[in-house]
Structure formats: C-alpha cells, structure tokens
Amino acid sequence: MLKDNVQTLAHNLLPELIAIRRHLHRHPELSFQEHETARYIAGRLEAFGISYQTGWAGTGIVGIIEGKNPDKKVLALRADMDALPIREAGDKPYRSANEGVMHACGHDVHSTCLLGAAHILHELRAHWEGTVKLIFQPGEELLPGGASLLIKEGVLENPRPAAIIGQHVHPPLETGKVGFHAGAYMASADELYLTVTGKGGHGAAPQDCVDPIAISAQIISALQQVVSRKADPITPSVLTFGRIASEGGATNIIPNAVHLQGTFRTMNEAWRFEAHRHIRSITEAIARGLGGDCQLRIEVGYPVLVNDPEQTAHCKALAEVYLGADNVVELPIRMTSEDFAFYSHHVPACFYRLGTGNAAQGISSPIHTNTFDVDENCLETGAGLMAWLAMEGAPGFEL
C-alpha cells in the first residue's frame, strides 16, 4: 500500500516536477554561486511546509522531515545544485538564460527529484518511521567540493544519519531504469600542475638552451609508467595531461618555461598517495637530469566513492520492488569522480544512477556536453524512488 501511494504521488507530481526542473535548467548558476537556485528551492520547501536551514557552505540548504517515531532511524538524501561553464546549444524553451552557464551534468534533475521526494515524504509522513535529512548541496563541480565543506560544518551530525543516498543522471540508461554498483564505484581525482623551466633561446641553437618542451615530453612519457609499471595491474588508474602551454615561444623560439595540467585517478586510496610520491620523484629527477627544473603542485581532490555493500544491496532490492527487477541493472565502475565520495567515507552510502535517456526521441547526449538533455519522465522515477528508499532504505531495517 505504501509503495502504491508513493508511485501515485510521484505520477501526479510529474507536471509540477517538470515545471521545477525547467525553471532550474533555465536559470543555472556556477559552483558556490547558487544564490537564486537556493532561494527558489527554499521557496518550494516552504510551500510544502518543510522546515529547513539555509547558508550551508554559503548557498546550501538542509531540510528535515520527521515521520512516526523520528528517533528510530535517520537517513539523508543529497542533491547537488551547481551548473557548468558551458554554452548551451539548441532552442528549446527552457534553454539556459544565463549565457555560458548550463546544467549539463543534470544537477537540475537531482534537485528537482529531491524536492519531489521531499513532497512525497512530507505528504506520507504518518505512514513511515524515522527522520529524513534533505541535503541540497552547492559546489559539486569545483574543488574542494561542497560535500567536504558541509561535512566540516556538521551536516552529518545533529541528527547523524545511519546512511546517505544520492542519485545521478545517466543518459546511457533509458528512462524508467536505474543502476547500482556495490563497493568502490567512482575514482578519486587529483589535479596535477607542473611548471618545467629551462633556458630559452633560438630554436636553431638548442646547444645553448635547456629546452623545457623536450623535458616536458620526457616527463609526460615517463609518467605513464606510474600506471603501467608501478600500479598493481588489478587496480584501475588513469594519468592524463589535458593542457600544455609554453611561456611565449614560436616556431623558432625555445621558451623559458612550460606549464602542464593533468589529472590522476584511481580506485584505491592507499595507492593514490603512493602514486603521488612516484609522480613527484619522476618529474623532479627527469627535469634535473636534463638540466632544468620542475615545480609540481598536486591538488588533492575527491576520494574514491565507496558504496557500502549492505546499504547498496538493500537499496537495490528496494528498487526492484519499486520498479521491477527488469528495470534495475548492475553497473561497472567509473573513472569519473564525484564529491558525494566524501560522504561515503563518513557514513554508509549508496550512490546510484538514474536512467534519463530516450533513444527513440533522440535524447542520448552525454553529460558535460552542450546538447545534454533528459527525458523528463525520469523525474517521476527519480522522485518516487528516492522517497521510497528514504522510507525503507537504512541498513538493519527489514524490507
């Protein structure tokens, strides 16, 4: 009966959820600048009659919904609110009105689904036990990550949740489906900033120079051995350089310095920091050996996202009850990263994927592209399932 009520409410809410999502999509804001987004979300919570606090990490919002016996269990639901610096393509009526800013990662969907779940939970609060904490989080797309700041401010205390649940849009999955993966699911992500210095001069007289471009080429090639020869072959690792720029230079000028930017990702926290030491020693040794110098700065980013096996199995079973087993799939690991990972190192976590694609309608663009969109029927699935998991989804409680 409770499941039927949740599904009915989610279905009836769909037109309102579409309107909310389109408003958020049309008015995107960059990380830690989500002031209007936060005001809008707060207004919706107020209209639902849900208590909340603002100002978390600047723009974050935390709401509380109490069911029967509110002390019996506490579970947290999280959605992120920020957008990306991408200029949206197309002419759909809800196209971004903030030129150069776009909800290209689906955070508008995440916030909408959490608002929908909050409405359902509030409406049915006499029919479930415990307390649900709603976390509308800023700054997922920008280091140090809003999650890390909210945790420092005490978002996982008073009350402390027994588990936390989040979801993320997934265009490869058709709308109506969701996917789970227990254990290490998403990679850590650290940023590498290198400045290789040498001695510039004329390109026709390299004997009078210390060529930082040649040194950089050696460093880039050698660092691939951190992955191929230092890492355990069964531990996924990726080292990629995405930007190389010299200070000045031309076809016939050797510059004084070269700047490189890259990312290192892995699925193992211990190996992650061991790899940092290898990266540092290799870069410095090669630069010195070739007569130059290398300054390396490693920005430690998001950790490995670990889905608690018990919590994830519980949520997956609940999803099969709610959506049918055919609509719940097992996902492979991903080398992308998410600041939800910070929560997973503090409380049992389940981060799953919400299908948003519709091949028949041509809705299949990947996230972080300027043509990204979703089949808005996913909002019914996302809001309803989140509410259902919150009612039933803490470990140690029977289905």
Global pTM value: 0.94
Tell me the per-residue pLDDT of 281-290, one tens digit each, with 9 for 90 and over: 999 999 999 9
Catalytic residue among 34, 80, 82, 108: 82
Q: Is-catalytic flag, 376?
A: no
CA nearest neighbour of 80 among 370, 343, 313, 388: 343
d(CA 315, CA 323): 12
d(CA 171, CA 365): 7
Tell me the per-residue pLDDT of 23-52, one tens digit each, with 9 for 90 and over: 999 999 999 999 999 999 999 999 999 999
* Cα dihedral 168/13/74/60 (nearest 10): 60
d(CA 77, CA 139): 16
> What secondary structure letter does DSSP report for 370?
T
d(CA 279, CA 273): 10
pLDDT at position 249 = 82
Catalytic residue among 29, 140, 375, 380: 140
Give the number of C-alpha atoms closer than 13 A to the C-alpha of residue 276, restricted to the C-beta side.
Answer: 17
Task: Give the pLDDT band (50/70/90) at residue 394.
Answer: low
pLDDT at 399 over 70: no
Mean pLDDT confidence for 222-229: 97
Could you tell me the domains of the chain? Answer: 2-187+304-392 (3.40.630.10), 189-302 (3.30.70.360)
Q: Is-catalytic flag, 140?
A: yes
